[in-house]
Structure 1
Amino acid sequence: MIRAVRLPFSAQVFVGMAIGLLLGFLARSLDPASGGEAIARGLRIVGDAFVGLLKTLVVPLVFTAIVASIAALRDVANAARLVVSTLVWFAITAAIAVAIGLLLGTVLAPGAHAGVDIATAVRPATTGSWLDFLRGLIPANILGLGASTKLAEGGATTTLSFNVLQIIVVAVAIGAAAVRVGEAGAPFLAFNASALAIFRRILRWIIALTPIGSAALIGRAVADYGWTSLSALGAFAAAVYIGLGLVIGVVYPALLAINGLSVRRFFATAWPAIQLGFVSRSSIATLPVTEAAAEKLGIDRSYAAFAVPFAATTKMDGCAAIYPAISALFVAQYFGLALHPTDYLLIAAVSVLGSAATAGLTGAVVMLTLTLTTLGLPLEGAGLLLAIDPILDMGRTAVNVAGQLLVPTVVAKRQGLFAPPVADDPQVVPA
């Protein structure tokens, strides 16, 4: 009798990504009439459906998890210290990442070796400002929902979106109020706990689809963008990916080892979330998988329920530290503008604080324009880099997700809220 062999979950994801790469290259090699466009369209539909399923869970899962964490933290004496410690480690890791970005941008000087045409230097449509941070903290409604309308030839299109930072603010307020009212809030907290258990079960079902989703998302990236656009900005792309590699491959393992944590176990458990972040290019879409990884790592659930969603909106070493640092130097070098030591310090300050200022907004372009504006550099310089932004965004988001798990793990270990399961196979997704 032959027994069926079940691949470990991470191996299934790798197989899915390999299939996606093949389908992506196949779509680019075929003429549209010969099936290339049909393959690309199919990859987009499946990839969008998978990301849509994850995003559907974000609002209810974040809300119920944070309300539950507030209820659980009422019995924790050092709750305030946990929040402060989390923010301190956010700043420490961001400062290290931006220092690496500044060093690479100075040594490699990607702006002096760019083959990009000056005609592509256009002011981006989306820019960031510190006022956006204050606006992002104030909920527009209890669900943190927003709407934007775009005018096109076919008419106006309205798109709904949600601001996770606002959802966190609302959930913290409601959770704190439910705790303060005592017995009157007990039924609500019990209902919230039940809802959280239901959403976690649905999450497990969606996570099981990750190999299929990964295949579609990586295939879509190859079919849509390929790698040809890297040639003109090869030095810049290399500098960014070297920086990302140093952070996730050297800095993070060093911080784990210093705090007595297993590097191998951390990355084995975090890998599904990191992979999904790479292919989906969205920390928010990856958030449910990141939360599941945090629980499997052994982070106390009451702390993880708060720290991981908060990190997903404000902890972005890839998008808000390495990338804007190298990009700002690129723009200055490309336009022949000299930067002084105070400018380097300003880049570091903006990068450490700026991820919070751009929480809930779209993409690293917002963070880059915020940095350029603060330094007084031409905003048109951001337009030079847009051609390869999707390719860079894959690596940036993977590093973001890794950092969003690293800091809660380190803080939990230092605060005695870390208890890894004795017998745990991080490769298997629970049914």
Structure 2
Amino acid sequence: MSLFLILNLAIAVAACALLYFMQQRHVSFTKRVFTALGLGVVLGAAFQGVYGNGAQVIKDTNEYLGIVGSGYVKLLQMIVMPLIMVSIIQAVLKLRNASSLGKISALTIGTLMATTAVAATIGILMAKLYGLTAVGLTSSAAEVARGAYLEGKLATAQEISLPKMILSFIPENPFLDMTGVRNTSTIAVVLFSIFIGVAATGIAGKQPDVFESFSRFVHVAHAIVMRMVTLVLRLTPFGVFALITQVLAKSSLQDILNLIGFVAASYSALILMFGVHLILIALAGLNPARYVKKIFPVLAFAFTSRTSAGSIPMSVQTQTARLGTPEGIANFAASFGATIGQNGCAGIYPAMLAVMIAPTVGIDPFTSHFLLTLVGIVTIGSVGVAGVGGGATFAALIVLSAMNLPVALAGLLISIEPLIDMGRTALNVSGSITAGTLTSRVLGQTDMKVFESDAELNLDTDQQVA
């Protein structure tokens, strides 16, 4: 272990000690996440500036930081399936109404897909505004290799169809799906949990004692799982610090400058789409500024971790404890939003890529036929993304192959992919929270006392404190 590595780790430990001290002093959760983000940005940029891109000491430092950052993400992923299962079952037991369940599902999924269509449109507009085109771009060895990899995955993307996607949601082996083995495992577990809840409510009148026993069991299981969620979420500032430090330390400034147009266009589109979310929140009669303040910690985690699925526990906690959304709706929105209608990965990104690549094969991307076809394919394809791994990559493959555009050119963006993916993931999570909030408001189930409260969620005592 080199002296520089020891020095780097000592600085990182000191930063974590500061975050722990803030936790012990009961500094608000939001302020701790803000501080962690700032510390990570400063330290990651310092590592990059001092050692330079690709330095071995940075790689070694990031391996140790990964124990905290990646370890935190793994803990969140560990509790995703238990959280979804017990929360959905308990929600169905409380509803005891199939029509209410149908309304929640329809409103949630409808909002996710509608906002994805809007996101695609915004992506197209930004591509036009910034004059994005793949014509004339040169390829490095890494980008050529990435292009070849994408072409190898093309056959898998072309096999995807809406009927196959819908069929893949049905859990053939629910216990296997609980391990997350399939890319549609999250939705499959949601459906299996609904099935259990509906079956249980079916015996409520005939066997009330059995139903009551099962209901108590689910209540106990739910209390234990939520305690697990609380314990893991306490580590959020540490995870955010480690993850953002890793990203900044290994990012190449030159690569970012070479494709600064696409980076700027992407973040402009992401910011505009986030603005659309806030407009929807305002139209629902909620204060957008208060809303942003309440959801910032989960967006910060999604931004640094680049995982929509891993954000599910924190998203549910935020929606229920800070926005006043019922737990059943929050779980539906977070679960479906992690796999269907992702505004960033399945909306903006593939739309911008298609517009950027079309001129390389002599297609004018701004004809009405091309644009209408593109928005339609992006919206429908946003459901298909759930069936395959790779998120934004497969969303792009589905759209580009459906539009008969060369997929290998998508590899040109490999060097800036992590930077853009951070914003995309945050927007995905924002979209799912927006869907849950709107669904709750439309159904008149939002607890406005919770939303209007300025209380912070204190994960140390499991109570909300001013």
Q: TM-score, normalised to structure 1's length? A: 0.89
Q: Which amino acid aligns with 1:262?
A: N
Deviation at 1:69, TM superposition (A): 1.5
Partner of 2:377: 350
Q: Classify 1:218/1:401 alpha carbon distance in 2 versus 1 (closer, same or farther; 3 Å).
A: same
Distance in 2 (alpha carbons) for counterparts of 1:78 and 1:140:
26
CA contact (8 A) 2:119 2:273 kept: yes
Distance in 2 (alpha carbons) for counterparts of 1:223 and 1:335:
37
Q: Which moved more, 1:265-274 or 1:50-59?
A: 265-274
Choose which of 161, 168, 171 in structure 2 pairs with 1:136: 168
Distance in 1 (alpha carbons) for counterparts of 2:438 and 2:457:
22
Q: Classify 1:114/1:17 alpha carbon distance in 2 versus 1 (closer, same or farther; 3 Å).
A: farther
Choose which of 167, 185, 191 in structure 2 pairs with 1:169: 191
CA contact (8 A) 1:270 1:293 kept: yes
Distance in 1 (alpha carbons) for counterparts of 2:214 and 2:333:
22
Q: Which amino acid aligns with 1:341?
A: S
Q: Classify 1:35/1:97 alpha carbon distance in 2 versus 1 (closer, same or farther; 3 Å).
A: closer
Deviations 1:117-145 (A, max 9, x none): 28635241545343462453132421344
Q: Counterpart of 1:418 in 2: which secondary structure?
A: coil
Q: Which moved more, 1:138-147 or 1:330-339?
A: 138-147
Q: Classify 1:220/1:56 alpha carbon distance in 2 versus 1 (closer, same or farther; 3 Å).
A: same
Q: Classify 1:93/1:426 alpha carbon distance in 2 versus 1 (closer, same or farther; 3 Å).
A: farther
Q: Classify 1:252/1:147 alpha carbon distance in 2 versus 1 (closer, same or farther; 3 Å).
A: closer
> Does 2:39 correspond to 1:19?
yes
Q: Which moved more, 1:250-259 or 1:78-87?
A: 78-87
Choose which of 300, 309, 315 in structure 1 pairs with 2:335: 309
Query: What stretches of structure 2 of length at least 5 have no aligned partner?
Result: 1-21
Q: Classify 1:147/1:169 alpha carbon distance in 2 versus 1 (closer, same or farther; 3 Å).
A: closer
Deviation at 1:107, TM superposition (A): 2.7
Partner of 1:203: 229
Partner of 2:201: 179
Distance in 1 (alpha carbons) for counterparts of 2:353 and 2:188:
29
Q: Classify 1:292/1:284 alpha carbon distance in 2 versus 1 (closer, same or farther; 3 Å).
A: same
Distance in 1 (alpha carbons) for counterparts of 2:281 and 2:30:
21
CA contact (8 A) 1:268 1:426 kept: no
Q: For 1:42-121, list aligned pairs within 5 A.
A: 42-75=64-97, 78-111=100-133, 115-117=137-139, 120-121=143-144
Q: Percent identity?
A: 28
Q: For 1:365-376, list aligned pairs within 5 A.
A: 365-376=393-404
Partner of 2:29: 9
Partner of 1:282: 307
Distance in 2 (alpha carbons) for counterparts of 1:171 and 1:309:
12
Q: Counterpart of 1:78 in 2: which secondary structure?
A: helix
CA contact (8 A) 1:307 1:408 kept: yes
Deviations 1:53-84 (A, max 9, x none): 10000011111111112212214753323322
Q: Classify 1:161/1:335 alpha carbon distance in 2 versus 1 (closer, same or farther; 3 Å).
A: closer
Q: Which moved more, 1:377-386 or 1:399-408?
A: 377-386
Choose which of 310, 325, 328 in structure 1 pairs with 2:351: 325
CA contact (8 A) 1:256 1:263 kept: yes
CA contact (8 A) 1:313 1:356 kept: yes
Partner of 2:216: 190
> Does 2:263 correspond to 1:241?
no
Deviation at 1:406, TM superposition (A): 0.7
Q: Counterpart of 1:219 in 2: which secondary structure?
A: helix
Q: Counterpart of 1:359 in 2: which secondary structure?
A: helix
Partner of 1:265: 290
Deviation at 1:11, TM superposition (A): 1.4
CA contact (8 A) 1:299 1:412 kept: yes
Deviations 1:151-188 (A, max 9, x none): xxxxxxxx998721221122122222222233344433
Partner of 1:400: 428
Deviations 1:235-293 (A, max 9, x none): 11211110001111x21221111111111221111111111100010110011000001
CA contact (8 A) 2:68 2:242 kept: yes
Choose which of 263, 281, 284 in structure 2 pairs with 1:256: 281
Distance in 2 (alpha carbons) for counterparts of 1:398 and 1:294:
15
Deviation at 1:325, TM superposition (A): 0.7
Q: TM-score, normalised to structure 2's length? A: 0.82
CA contact (8 A) 1:277 1:397 kept: yes
Distance in 1 (alpha carbons) for counterparts of 2:153 and 2:44:
29
Deviation at 1:114, TM superposition (A): 6.3
Distance in 2 (alpha carbons) for counterparts of 1:254 and 1:181:
44
Deviation at 1:307, TM superposition (A): 2.8
CA contact (8 A) 1:65 1:196 kept: yes
Q: Which moved more, 1:264-273 or 1:49-58?
A: 264-273
How many residue pairs match? The answer is 418
CA contact (8 A) 1:147 1:161 kept: no
Q: Classify 1:186/1:313 alpha carbon distance in 2 versus 1 (closer, same or farther; 3 Å).
A: farther
Partner of 2:444: 416
Q: Counterpart of 1:138 in 2: which secondary structure?
A: coil
Partner of 1:152: none
Deviations 1:338-371 (A, max 9, x none): 3342221121112222222111532200000000
Choose which of 231, 239, 244 in structure 2 pairs with 1:218: 244
Deviation at 1:315, TM superposition (A): 3.3
Partner of 2:320: 295
Q: Which moved more, 1:102-111 or 1:391-400?
A: 102-111
Distance in 2 (alpha carbons) for counterparts of 1:147 and 1:205:
21
CA contact (8 A) 2:89 2:193 kept: yes
Deviation at 1:18, TM superposition (A): 2.0
Query: What stretches of structure 1 of length at least 5 have no aligned partner?
Result: 149-158
Deviation at 1:190, TM superposition (A): 2.4
Q: Classify 1:290/1:133 alpha carbon distance in 2 versus 1 (closer, same or farther; 3 Å).
A: same
